[in-house]
Amino acid sequence: MAVKITFQDIVKTFGETRALDHVNLTVPAGDLFFLLGPSGCGKTTLLRSLAGFVTPDSGKILFDNEDISALPPHERDTGMVFQSYALWPHLTVAQNVAFGLEMRKVSKAEIRARVAEALEIVKMSHRVDHKPGQLSGGQQQRVALARALVIKPRCLLLDEPLSNLDAKLRADMRSEIRRICKEAGLTSLYVTHDQKEALSVADRIAVMRDGKIMQEGTPLEVYRTPTSMFTANFIGETNFVGNEELGIRNEELGKKQLCIRPEAIRLDEPPQGVHIFDGILKETVYLGEMAQHQFDVSGVMMKVFELNPKRIIERGAMVRMWVAREDVIVLPNE
């Protein structure tokens, strides 16, 4: 049964550093929830607080309505997956997965059945007798997932689980981790600094900075409607401009920061009711399905991602471009 996880006013200080600064956060039952942010933002400390490896200075952590703040790690029934896999090199795949059940004194017959079930979920049934050294990085990560799942945890915790894999394998494993978490029916808390990982896999995301939650929502909400310059800049690429560059005469907007995603800017014939502006092409990187342009717009460099480009624009050319009004994000000036 998936649990709702609630962090209530969590504070944790290491020396002079406040790693968690009054964090309040709810992870809905059954969600694959991502903690996203730069190194040192507090995301791993929050995850380790949930696991019981770090004791907060104040605040509470709840599983549904049960306060687990004082429970030791082994009584919280959390399954943990580390970026280093942490597999025993001298044990087989089956023995690695069975280890947690053996520590819990589960019967041998039940261990065999549960290990088989967990390995089936992660598609590693054909490797039961192999040692970790005989497996690829992706296969080792699947075994680590099976080991976490086999104890039937109340929630699954993943600490940058794909960071040791190459780019292609990382992309393949993203969808696999989502499938595995959903099939297992678990509430899962996933720590990463990789924005693409978070956007492509998460049900919901919390963006962290300096021990605080900056914004929380679905990937679409966080990407399309960031609430701060930090979130807009951290999640995806963006252009920060003033109203002068867009030709907007609005004194109220002059006190704000405007944000436009590069893919929202169009180079085709503008329709009615959009913001139209001109820019001088400075550079283009052609990627096949997309051209990444850099334009000088009234002295401000702007990125434009042109999807499915069909023409070559000469460097130095003056180009008319446009953006829909709803694609201009208005943020407070920081």
pLDDT at 84: 82
pLDDT at 334: 73
Structure tokens at 249: 């005469």
Instruction: Please name the residue ranges forming H helices in 52-105.
Output: 93-103
Helices (H) and strands (E) in the chain, counts: 8, 17
Q: Which regions of the chain does DSSP assign to beta strands (E)?
A: 5-14, 17-27, 32-36, 58-63, 66-67, 78-81, 155-159, 187-192, 204-209, 212-217, 239-241, 256-260, 274-286, 290-297, 300-307, 318-324, 329-332
pLDDT at 1: 73
Instruction: Please name the residue ranges forming H helices in 7-131.
Output: 43-51, 93-103, 108-121
Q: What is the pLDDT of residues 30-57, one digit of tens each?
A: 999 999 999 999 999 999 999 999 999 9
Q: What is the pLDDT of residues 265-319, one digit of tens each?
A: 999 999 999 999 999 999 999 999 999 999 999 889 999 999 999 889 999 999 9
pLDDT at 249: 60
Asked whether the predicted pLDDT for residue 195 surpasses 60, the reply is: yes
CATH C-level class of 239-332: mainly beta
Mean pLDDT of the chain: 92
| CATH node for 5-234 | 3.40.50.300
Contact assessment for residue 295 and residue 319, using Cβ atoms and an 8 Å cutoff: yes
Say which residue, 21 or 172, is predicted with more confidence: 21
Q: What is the pLDDT of residues 129-163, one digit of tens each?
A: 999 999 988 899 899 999 999 989 999 999 998 88
Task: Report d(CA 262, CA 283) in Å as an integer.
Answer: 14
Asked whether the predicted pLDDT for residue 184 surpasses 60, the reply is: yes
Helix (H) or strand (E) holding 154: none
Helix (H) or strand (E) holding 198: helix 195-201
Contact assessment for residue 33 and residue 187, using Cβ atoms and an 8 Å cutoff: yes
User: The pTM is what?
Assistant: 0.89
Say which residue, 62 or 101, is predicted with more confidence: 62
Residue corresponding to tokens 């492509």? 200
pLDDT at 248: 63
pLDDT at 247: 65
Q: What is the pLDDT of residues 243-279, one digit of tens each?
A: 766 666 655 567 678 899 999 999 999 999 999 999 9
Q: What is the pLDDT of residues 67-107, one digit of tens each?
A: 999 999 989 989 999 888 789 999 999 999 998 888 888 88
Task: Report d(CA 1, CA 276) in Å as an integer.
Answer: 53
Tell me the domain boundaries of the chain. 5-234, 239-332
Say which residue, 248 or 235, is predicted with more confidence: 235
Asked whether the predicted pLDDT for residue 15 surpasses 80, the reply is: yes
